[in-house]
Amino acid sequence: MHDFEPFWNWRHKYVAEEDERSPFFGEEHSEFHFTNAVYDHLIHPQWDGMGSSTLYLKLLFADYDEGGAIIELIGEWNDLLHNDVMILKRNIIEHLMAQGISKFVLIGENVLNFHSSDEEYYSEWYEEVSDAGGWIALLNFRPHVLQDLQSANIDQYFLLGGQLNAMEWRTWEPEALLEKVEGLVMRRLGA
């Protein structure tokens, strides 16, 4: 896992550590010292911690004018043991929402497992973004993770599947990706 770096090809457009409105403003990353791990597997030092011991992320892009953010995830999403959704919501999402972000693209190619608990924070997050005209879209999550989300009835709070689960997102510029995902979301919502 230490070889998996967060996507870096948009750094000419956005760097969360340099964005005063980002929850990661001022963070510094080593290229050589691996300090974070998912269980006993070290992860690349460019991933950001959010307070969870199993789930890490990288805020790849935030567009405050359009109200959208793209977040790449790595690790195990474990609500059962660590309440990762609460940590994500309180430490990252609420900060971004206070800055006007209501449209979230979560990239889950590197989410290895999902363990559910209750759906309180999912419901809260969904209601808050919906009230602000936003949404939460999942891109490229692994089939077994999507199955676990569906089994826990958590999928009702996200837009997922179809083209969202097979998108070659790295070939897009971030603004174009947000626009493409929003088009798919609006089509599904019938707006």
**pLDDT tens, residue by residue, 26-56:** 888 767 666 677 777 778 788 899 999 899 9
Instruction: Give the pTM.
Output: 0.94
Confidence of residue 144 (pLDDT cuts 50, 70, 90): very high
pLDDT tens track for 155-183: 999 999 889 998 999 999 999 999 999 99
**Beta carbons of 4 and 56 less than 8 angstroms apart:** no
Say what the pLDDT of residue 34 is: 67
Residue type, 23: P
Chain length of the chain: 191
Q: Which domains does the chain have, with CATH numbers?
A: 16-189 (3.30.750.24)
With residue 88 as reference, give the H or E element that holds it: helix 84-88
Task: Give the whole-number percent of the chain exceeding pLDDT 70.
Answer: 94
Q: How far is residue 44's CA from residue 81's CA, in Å, rounded to a whole number?
A: 23
Examine the pLDDT at 189 and tell me if it is beyond 70.
yes
Say what the pLDDT of residue 44 is: 79
- How far are the Cα atoms of 84, 86, 96, 121 from residue 47, in angstroms, in the given order? 16, 19, 18, 23
Distance of CA 111 to the CA centre of its chain: 10
